[in-house]
Amino acid sequence: MTNEYDVAVIGGGFAGVIAARDLSVKGHSVVLIEARDRVGGRTWTAPGLGRQLEYGGTYVHWTQPNMWQELQRHNIPLRIPVVPTTVYWIAEGATHSASPEEYGAALEPLMNQFFADARAVFPQPFDIELVDTSAVEKQTIADRLSALNLPSYEHDLLDGAMAGLVTAYEDHGVAQFLSCVATYFGSWAAFFETAGTWPIEGGTKRLLDAIMAESKAAVRLSTPVAAVEDDGTGVTVTTRAGEQIRARAAVVALPLNTLGDIAITPEVPAASRRMIDDKNPIVGSKIWVRAKGELEPFQAVAPLGQNPINAARVEYHEDGDTFIMCLCSTGAAIDATDPAAVQQALRAFIPDIEVRETACHDWVTDEFSKGGFMLHRPGHFTGGATQLREAHGRIHFAGSDIAGVEAGAIEGAMDTGAHAARSIDAALARGSY
């Protein structure tokens, strides 16, 4: 087994898999190094509740250029989602219900207020340095909610609509949220559709398998990395086991919360180091529920602190039962392995629901993720993340956590992986590396 390559790609999530595939099919020798015994990173299609489940990132959209190109390339369709007939929400301590249209009509003016300046702050979302974002980067989601000065009912209505995507409003900057909405024409409804509606037929594993089948990269699974060093003539990757792998360039495509576990030489820029040290504050969880009987398709939301489950939606019916996807802003607030606890939380919306089984993967305690998808702290989205997207000598970074467009999404991971591959390919062609 050789220990010398043109490129070493560290991390086998979508960013790393795309980078390794793109570079290897260009004729470069590539090794893909992954700590887990599988590729996919924070996406994971695996058995549960008697079927295949998506335990991590799931939803994609035809408006996402990198994702749609790959789906079309491999002839993989999207799965048509179940459309809810009723929406339940908690406000002022009580549960309310209405049709999706009525709920949307009540929510729309509040969302429009919250995201009113999205296009002004990010007129061209693909170029986040186009305007001065220093003021908005100081603002937390909590700051913006408070500035709206809404009555308690309206505050809870808006809070509940966003709670499934956050952990604590005071921990998250508003800039990334504004960028995501600006990306989708300034429409919060369009962004929410892309972020949480359309799964891949056959799961994310189906797409990963298709991309890996094209790749010519060598793959080393169950190989955690301890250090990455650029000495000016090449990159040395040192595994935890002490093995050293030499390459002309490297792609580091790891979750932000694990970058602090790796010695990176030379040191990254100060703003990026602060971001790495501050970490991604998302500590939520995703719980799958198998409920007894074929329940009506519903969607449910709850503000932070008013229910341990902050978002729930019927995903499909099978074998006479109903499968529900639930999001919790704080995973530690509920025991995902306890059907009785999950049933109690869901009964705030559906009083007679009977939970048969639950399934969940704890991404927060997983040593190779240490958290969920990215929602940046104030100052980091246009600060440390921007600097990590620039070449760090022969070391290039990738991953949804540092994406400029679609940060926190599979699309963002793909985009950064493809960008890193293009940059390295060009440098190798010039003889710069």
- Report the pLDDT value the prediction gives residue 131, as an integer from 0 to 100: 82
- Report the pLDDT value the prediction gives residue 33, as an integer from 0 to 100: 98
- Report the pLDDT value the prediction gives residue 1, as an integer from 0 to 100: 60
- Report the pLDDT value the prediction gives residue 66, as an integer from 0 to 100: 98
Q: Which amino acid is at 311?
A: A
In the three-class reduction of DSSP (H, G, I as helix; E, B as strand; rest coil), residue 391 is classed as coil
- End-to-end CA separation in angstroms for the chain: 23
The DSSP-derived string for 319-372 is TTEEEEEEEESBGGGS-TT-HHHHHHHHTTTSTT--EEEEEE--TTT-TTTSS-
Q: How far apart are CA 69 and CA 427, in angstroms?
A: 25
251: Cβ contacts below 8 Å, ≥ 6 apart: 7, 8, 9, 10, 11, 15, 16, 19, 20, 396, 397, 398, 417, 420, 421, 424
* Nearest alpha-carbon partner for 139 in 111, 180, 118, 170: 170
Sign of CA dihedral 345, 56, 279, 259: positive
Q: According to the annotation, is 35 in a ligand binding site?
A: yes
Q: According to the annotation, is 219 in a ligand binding site?
A: no
- Report the pLDDT value the prediction gives residue 213, as an integer from 0 to 100: 98
19: Cβ contacts below 8 Å, ≥ 6 apart: 7, 9, 251, 253, 398, 417, 418, 420, 421
349: Cβ contacts below 8 Å, ≥ 6 apart: 88, 90, 95, 298, 300, 312
In the three-class reduction of DSSP (H, G, I as helix; E, B as strand; rest coil), residue 260 is classed as coil
Asked if the bond preceding 65 is cis, omega within 30° of 0, the reply is no
Q: Could you tell me the mean pLDDT of each successive run of 10 residues in the chain, 433 residues long?
A: 91 98 98 98 97 97 98 98 97 97 98 97 89 92 97 98 94 96 96 96 98 98 98 97 98 98 98 97 97 98 97 96 98 97 98 98 97 96 95 97 97 98 97 95
Q: Which amino acid is at 202?
A: G
417 touches 15 (CB < 8 A):
yes
In degrees and rounded to multiples of 5, residue 176 shows phi and psi of -60, -40
Q: According to the annotation, is 341 in a ligand binding site?
A: no
- Report the pLDDT value the prediction gives residue 129, as an integer from 0 to 100: 79
Is residue 202 exposed (0-12), middle (13-18) or buried (19+ Cβ within 10 Å)?
middle
- The single residue listed with the structure tokens 């809404």 is 150
In the three-class reduction of DSSP (H, G, I as helix; E, B as strand; rest coil), residue 269 is classed as coil
The DSSP-derived string for 81-103 is PPPPSEEEEEETTEEEEE-HHHH
The DSSP-derived string for 313-330 is EEEEEETTEEEEEEEESB
In the three-class reduction of DSSP (H, G, I as helix; E, B as strand; rest coil), residue 200 is classed as strand
Q: How far apart are CA 432 and CA 419, in angstroms?
A: 17
pTM above 0.95, yes or no: yes
Sign of CA dihedral 207, 209, 215, 217: positive
CA 369 to chain centre: 11
**Which tokens hold the place of 162?**
């966003």
Cα–Cα separations (whole angstroms), residue 298 to 84, 101, 175, 289, 349: 5, 13, 31, 14, 10
